[in-house]
A and B are shown apart, each in its own frame.
Chain A
Amino acid sequence: MTSSPQRRIDVAGLVIALILLGLAGLIWWDMTKLQILSPYDLGPKVMPIIVSLGLTLLAVGNAIGAWKGDLPARDSLDWKPIVLILGGLACLIALIAIGGGFMIGTAILFAATSTAFGRRAFLMDLLIGAAIAVLIYLLFAKLLTLSLPAGPLEHLL
């Protein structure tokens, strides 16, 4: 992923251009399924057509930039913290999806993020995360009357 000044063609930039082209195609395909209700104008199709054509042009523009190696220099990348944070988010989503409430998931997310930023006290942070979750639950549910997905733990409060 690191780019050196010597390398001319930026592969990541070409991938971005390809993704934009794919997105443009997707919007176009989706647009063809829409029905026009008024005989005079294109109605719901106008904007998708504009956006799709614009994205196609931009895909070309990005590809040219990548071809010339115009992208700004990038630092080296540490994947571990990214995996940790995304893993924490995935745990939270899974727990809410199966009805486990948000509290355990929030505690895990807090501890995982904190670990991603270099702390080495997972259990301690798990407790802190749980305490914050309780505080937020009380603030949201009691003070602002907003509902949060509840699981077995939340019903105890």
Chain B
Amino acid sequence: MEAFVSLANGLSVAIQPMNLLFALIGVLLGTAVGVLPGIGPALTVALLLPVTFKLDPAGSIIMFAGIYYGGMYGGSTTAILINTPGESASMATALEGNKMAKAGRGGPALATSAIGSFVAGTIATLGLTFLAPYLVDIAVSFGPEDYFALMCVAFVTVSATFGDSPVRGLTSLFIGLTLGLVGIDILSGQSRLSFGIPELYDNIEVTTLAVGLFAVGEALYVASRRHVHEERLEAVRGSLWMTKEDWKRSWKPWLRGTAFGFPIGALPAGGAEIPTFLSYSTEKRLTKYPEEFGKGAIEGVAGPEAANNASAAGTLVPLLTLGLPTSATAAMLLAGFQQYGLNPGPLLFAEQPNLVWGLIASLFIANGMLLVLNLPLVGLWVRLLAIPQPWLYAGILVFATMGTIAANPSPVELIMLTVFGVLGFLMRRFDFPIAPVVVGLILGPIAESQLRRALSISLGDPMVLLQSPISATLLAIALIALILPFVLKGLGRFKAVED
């Protein structure tokens, strides 16, 4: 009940004309950049952060959330029409979706993914609405050591548990943690890893890191292997509308996809790849038309796409209630909050209920807008794919550098951007995941301050981390999540030998 009242209050914030406008700008921008190959929602928010910091906080956070949801819709369009998904979460969609587009059923593929995204997004946002107050109640009782332990869980799951290689994932995380050390330590006033460079004293900007890794790094990487890889755009042929048969085959995968996506997104586990692939393999197993899989089965688009959106909404649960970002985009949203001096977590629900619930309510509105805008305007979005690649990447780099110097007018900031770009290029080349670096930079200093608070209360005794039952349990979970991939890898090797 409490959730309903809060949501109704939030709705009254969200339907203010200015906020509706921000939501509309957000979903339009999000869809546009989601469609563009090479720009994901994380980069969009990163690019827009410095540009928006003089705007109204509620409005721009609503806009960022619109970008987040819009980016998911746009990404699936690209996955279906070009066989190169912009983000790993759309990989499962591309499997069947691109086959459908090649077979002249691009329209129904886009429709089932848009409607499935709407269904999943709405259910998952409802889940967020009802789950959030409970989590806030639990989180209020957390001490600093419990928070630190919770962040350890997030660190491990984001970097090690679900990636290709736990060692490379953890390496990325620790690069992020290292960058988080740079600058003046707030508690003691001493500078760390700054080497006398004034720009380094006030910490490394999350936006500079994210824009460097995602925009410059991606541009360098794509340019360096243009000769290997060529993209081809499928035209949307046939009717946009789904037949009765399509509906019948789609609605169950939508719901099953949501059931996979939301819980996995809501756990501090990060990554939409797991639920999308779980959904894909489930649909493949349950379908009545197994012969169509691999040739363009609509279930294989409907399920993963719903899972993708549900997990995106699920990610907002730990972000808003605990201040815990579990994906690169969530980390950028957190940076968006911090830009206005707001810290997501239980306190934010108490201090700024209008802002939080206004944001949650506007997620419903954004979702509705996306459904209405996406299908009729799909022709317009597809035209964005016709922008020549040289101009697209040149434009991205120009906007990236301009945004960076608008925030910090100093050549040193641009040098850092370039260095992070080279880092992003090397990480892509050697297959290190990018998201843990961003999460490490933004969450590292928060984890450190919680750890030090816990240690100063216990007069320096590290056993405090094990004496709190919550903290001890969470650390045990983190340890299991750390060891599990190594054990499973061993099992996988064993199985491979057996085959």
Bound together: yes
A residues neighboring B (CB under 8 Å)? 12-13, 16, 20, 23, 26-27, 30-31, 34-35, 37-38, 40-44, 46-48, 51, 54-55, 58, 61-62, 65, 70-72, 74-79, 81-82, 84-86, 88-90, 92-94, 96-97, 102, 106, 109-111, 113-119, 125, 128-129, 132-133, 136, 140, 144-149
- Name 29 A/B residue pairs within 8 A (Cβ), A-sorted: A12-B430, A26-B193, A27-B193, A30-B193, A34-B192, A35-B188, A37-B188, A38-B460, A43-B187, A44-B192, A47-B452, A54-B177, A55-B174, A58-B167, A65-B167, A74-B430, A78-B224, A78-B225, A82-B224, A84-B223, A89-B418, A94-B411, A96-B414, A97-B411, A113-B393, A114-B391, A118-B389, A128-B391, A146-B51
A75 to B415, CA, bound (A): 28
Contact: B414 with A78, CB < 8 Å?
A: no
Q: Tell me if A's interface is mostly helix, strand, loop or mixed.
A: helix
Contact: B227 with A149, CB < 8 Å?
A: no
A13 to B399, CA, bound (A): 34
Q: How far is the CB of B143 from chain A (nearest CB, A)?
A: 16
Residue of B nearest to A113 (CB): B394
Residue of A nearest to B171 (CB): A58
Q: Which residues from chain B contact A113 at a C-beta distance below 8 Å?
A: 219, 223, 390, 393-394, 397
Q: Which residues from chain B contact A71 at a C-beta distance below 8 Å?
A: 430-431
Q: Which residues from chain B contact A30 at a C-beta distance below 8 Å?
A: 192-193
A32 to B59, CA, bound (A): 45
From B54, B224, B394, A109 is in contact (CB under 8 Å) with B394
A42 to B79, CA, bound (A): 50
Contact: B394 with A110, CB < 8 Å?
A: yes
From B220, B395, B456, A132 is in contact (CB under 8 Å) with B395
> Total number of A-B contacts with CB less than 8 angstroms?
207
- Any A CB within 8 A of the CB of B114: no
Contact: B394 with A125, CB < 8 Å?
A: yes
Interface bits B22-52 vs A (CB < 8 Å: 1, else 0):
0000000000000000000000000000111
Q: Which of B405-420 contact A (CB under 8 A)?
A: 405-407, 409, 411, 414-415, 417-418
From B171, B188, B390, A119 is in contact (CB under 8 Å) with B390
Given the known inter-chain contacts A102-B402, A144-B51, please indicate yes or no for A89 contacting B430, CB distance below 8 A: no
Q: Pick from A61, A85, A96, A144 the residue with the most CB of B within 10 Å.
A: A85
